[in-house]
């Protein structure tokens, strides 16, 4: 039998940076265990943060990513016209476009079929943000 499930998760506010959120997200998805095979789609409803999958073991990776993103989209660039919401806002929009707002992960035997060292990242691009909304859609064959 095929089933759809959709959940909105409110992620706690975080400081600027790249944050591993896999465990927090899984804590809000007890129904994941009922899927034998399927897909989990994660969509972040924001324009100044992004979602990614990457290294879950070494926290240096997250720090290096944050530092490199700040080089790619620096604050106070003279060509920015959108500056009303502060110097971190336009760079946050650029970073969000580069990384994206959604990822899809296969579901196998009731769990996310991530690679051995992969985890779900919230990339927070603003200095001060509030909670972030994540929509999770599960689709697949249930047990």
Q: Looking at the domain assignment, is residue 102 inside a domain? A: yes
Q: What CATH number should be reported for the domain holding residue 111? A: 2.60.120.460
If one counts every other C-beta atom within 10 angstroms of the C-beta of residue 49, the result is: 24
C-beta of residue 119 within 8 angstroms of C-beta of residue 47: no
Q: How many domains does the chain divide into?
A: 1
Calculate the alpha carbon distances from 11 to 58, 74, 102 in Å.
22, 26, 15
What confidence score (pLDDT) does residue 143 get? Answer: 85
What's the pTM value of the predicted model, to 2 decimals? 0.96
Domain range holding 112? Answer: 6-75+82-142
Q: Looking at the domain assignment, is residue 66 inside a domain? A: yes
Quote the CA–CA distance of 17 and 66 in Å, as a whole number: 6
Tokens for 62, please give them: 């997250």
Mean pLDDT per 10-residue section of the chain, whose length is 143 residues: 97 97 98 98 98 97 97 97 95 98 98 97 96 98 93
Residue 105 DSSP code: E
Q: Looking at the domain assignment, is residue 98 inside a domain? A: yes
Q: Looking at the domain assignment, is residue 63 inside a domain? A: yes
What confidence score (pLDDT) does residue 95 get? Answer: 98
Q: Looking at the domain assignment, is residue 87 inside a domain? A: yes
DSSP string, 32-63: GGGEEEEEEEEEE--SSEEEEEEE-S-HHHHH
Q: Looking at the domain assignment, is residue 1 inside a domain? A: no
């Amino acid at each position: 039998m095929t089933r759809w499930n959709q959940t909105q998760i409110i992620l706690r506010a975080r400081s600027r940076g790249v944050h591993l959120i896999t465990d927090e997200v899984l804590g809000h998805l007890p129904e994941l265990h009922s899927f034998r095979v399927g897909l989990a789609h994660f969509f972040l409803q924001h324009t100044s943060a992004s979602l990614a999958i990457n290294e879950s073991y070494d926290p240096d990776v997250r720090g290096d990513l944050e530092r490199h993103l700040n080089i790619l989209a620096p604050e106070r660039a003279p060509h920015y016209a959108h500056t009303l919401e502060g110097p971190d806002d336009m760079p946050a929009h650029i970073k969000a476009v580069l990384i994206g707002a959604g990822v899809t992960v296969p579901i196998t035997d009731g769990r996310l079929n991530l690679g051995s060292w992969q985890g779900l990242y919230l990339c927070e691009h603003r200095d001060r943000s509030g909670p972030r909304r994540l929509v999770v859609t599960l689709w697949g064959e249930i047990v």
